[in-house]
Amino acid sequence: VGPEALLSWKSKRTFTSFGVFFLQMGWGDLGVFGEPSKETPNLDQMASEGMLFLDFYTANPLCSPSRAALLTGRLPVRNGFYTTNAHARNAYTPQDIVGGIPDSELLLPELLKKAGYTNKIVGKWHLGHRPQFHPMKHGFDEWFGSPNCHFGPFDNRALPNIPVYRDWEMIGRYYEDFKIDLKTGEANLTQIYLQEALDFISKQQASQQPFFLYWAIDATHAPVYASKHFLGTSQRGLYGDAVREIDDSIGKILKHLQKLGISENTFVFFTSDNGAALISAPKQGGSNGRFLCGKQTTFEGGMREPAIAWWPGHIPAGGVSHQLGNVMDLFTTSLSLAGLQPPSDRQIDGIDLLPAILQGKLIDRPIFYYRGNEMMAVRVGLYKAHYWTWSNSWEEYSKGIDFCPGQNVSGVTTHTQEEHTNLPLLFHLGRDPGEKYPLSFASDEYQRTMEQISVVVQQHKVTMVPGEPQLNVCDKAVMNWSPPGCEKLGKCLKQPKSDPKKCFWPH
């Protein structure tokens, strides 16, 4: 497809809606990426009708920071979704987190709103659960879902069960009003989230308003669940059942867009917030295919994500792109599609992917792999340089916490934080996508490549202005004891005395 595709779309554009499916699924969980059970016919079809991204990354190997990065277009180290409590630690937003998304950050829905978009989040917000962080204070017009992961059930004394919100107020709690049976794995949640998406799309279509639907549901995060209809239907066990239900739901949403005749006005993107959590495998964990390790790590298994762009009539069917992409690009790309400019008063890390998607261009840009406050690695072209390596600590590993089960690459999957800044470990991801064979330090290829990469890294580091870290302080008093709306439901709980502490982040 030539530049005329982009031009013709720009000239005849009225408006383009967006759907973003943002889930926790590993690269190797999709049939189209080689999952041997091949149980994702709808995602596979989405890929065959759209464009598959093979070199697409998340901004962080953990959920909250990735979600903050997608919605701000900025690295977590800039938007505050990281910790300085210890070096290179993953942090997120459990119930006792005091911080959340700062008001100073401009979120995608805030910007789209100015262009007349209606924005809805279905699923896990994860950018802070205290009142000032509410998604509807940050540009969303509607919300159905929860602020935190669906861990539980809790006893409502030491820990409250996680609330589920409709818009401004809670309407119940997980395990109490929204059942999850941990024994059988049955829960109807994905069906509820599906219906929310379908209804929202119908409403927007009826009112002819452009929309941004952010479908960021909890599944397949552990504890894994699926609804009755899907239980026991996968070769892969409960995790596979959950994947099949999500796949089915995405198929239904796409078909709904087509049925309503708005698929050519709706840009849809599917990707994931981090690699599959191998720690939960085999029963509750997915697959990162042949990539090294998983969630929590800055190896490819932790951060390379399945990614599909779908926009019938615009994106050529069956396309494949090697563009280095990042979830932060969805921010800039969506703005571009809406005819908006990204904010110019701050560093935006996301790039506009439209030239890659519509014209097949390859835009030169690096990928940075952060763990907390540390740039662990960088990818430039096909090369990836590790400046730091760490899987997890010996202490955690000896407890059975293993982010790389069955994998052990000497000097690479280290259980102490190893610094390589003077002589980074360099991999060629084309010949060695599994990060098993570091290039010889003495080789010409190493010397030549590191010269290029060093410039990119230096440029990145000297211009880096880290944001105020939001994930440092934890306090039991801020938990979801009495979310707005709890009174009407008689679900307010007694809040313990405030006792702020440094959060402990072991990974």
Q: Tell me the C-alpha distance between 372 and 466, whole Å.
A: 11
Q: Tell me the C-alpha distance between 393 and 417, whole Å.
A: 8
- The token duo for 99 is 């911080």
Listed residue (75, 59, 64, 31) closest to 308, CA to CA:
31
Is 474 annotated as catalytic? no
* H or E, element range at 101: none
Tell me if residue 50 falls in helix, strand or coil.
coil
Least distance to its own copies from the beta carbon of 488, Å? Answer: 43
Residue 63, annotated as binding a ligand:
yes
Strands (E), 162-303: 163-166, 169-173, 180-181, 186-187, 211-216, 266-272
Looking at beta carbons only, is 58 or 334 nearer to its own copies?
58
Least distance to its own copies from the beta carbon of 21, Å? Answer: 20
**Residue that the structure tokens 């409590």 belong to:** 85
Listed residue (271, 300, 325) closest to 403, CA to CA:
300
Least distance to its own copies from the beta carbon of 43, Å? Answer: 13
Least distance to its own copies from the beta carbon of 382, Å? Answer: 6
What is the number of other CB atoms lying within 10 angstroms of the CB of residue 286? 30
Least distance to its own copies from the beta carbon of 207, Å? Answer: 38
* H or E, element range at 23: strand 17-23
Looking at beta carbons only, is 157 or 431 nearer to its own copies?
431
With left for phi above 0 and alpha for psi between -120 and 50, is residue 435 left, alpha or beta? left
Q: Tell me the C-alpha distance between 264 and 503, whole Å.
A: 46
CA 164 → CA 145, 192, 245, distances in Å? 5, 12, 20
Looking at beta carbons only, is 61 or 438 nearer to its own copies?
438
Least distance to its own copies from the beta carbon of 492, Å? Answer: 42
Least distance to its own copies from the beta carbon of 309, Å? Answer: 15
Least distance to its own copies from the beta carbon of 406, Å? Answer: 4
Catalytic residue among 63, 149, 293, 404: 63
Residue 408, annotated as binding a ligand:
no
CA 350 → CA 144, 157, 176, 189, 211, distances in Å? 27, 42, 40, 32, 21
Tell me if residue 192 falls in helix, strand or coil.
helix
Q: Tell me the C-alpha distance between 163 and 26, whole Å.
A: 27
Q: Tell me the C-alpha distance between 80 and 69, whole Å.
A: 10
Q: Tell me the C-alpha distance between 58 and 70, whole Å.
A: 8
Looking at beta carbons only, is 71 or 293 nearer to its own copies?
293
Looking at beta carbons only, is 52 or 471 nearer to its own copies?
52
Is 486 annotated as catalytic? no
Contacts of 173 (CB under 8 A, 6+ apart): 160, 161, 162, 163, 164, 491
Looking at beta carbons only, is 128 or 301 nearer to its own copies?
301
DSSP letters along 105-142, please? SPPHHHHHHHTT-EEEEEE---S--SGGG-GGGTT-SE
CA 460 → CA 52, 85, 365, 366, distances in Å? 28, 23, 12, 10
Catalytic residue among 126, 129, 150, 507: 126
Looking at beta carbons only, is 103 or 445 nearer to its own copies?
445
Looking at beta carbons only, is 140 or 239 nearer to its own copies?
239
- CB 347, CB 74: distance < 8 Å: yes
User: How remote is the C-alpha of 338 from its chain's centroid?
Assistant: 22
Binding site for its own copies (CB under 8 A): 27-28, 32-38, 52, 54-55, 234-237, 239-240, 281-283, 287-290, 292, 304, 320, 322, 382, 405-409, 428-434, 436-437
Least distance to its own copies from the beta carbon of 251, Å? Answer: 16
Residue 274, annotated as binding a ligand:
yes
Looking at beta carbons only, is 328 or 439 nearer to its own copies?
439
Strands 304-310 and 325-326, sheet pairing: unpaired
Which residues are part of the catalytic machinery?
63, 126
Which amino acids are annotated as binding site for Ca(2+), given as ranges?
A: 63, 273-274
User: Residues at the annotated binding site?
Assistant: 63, 273-274
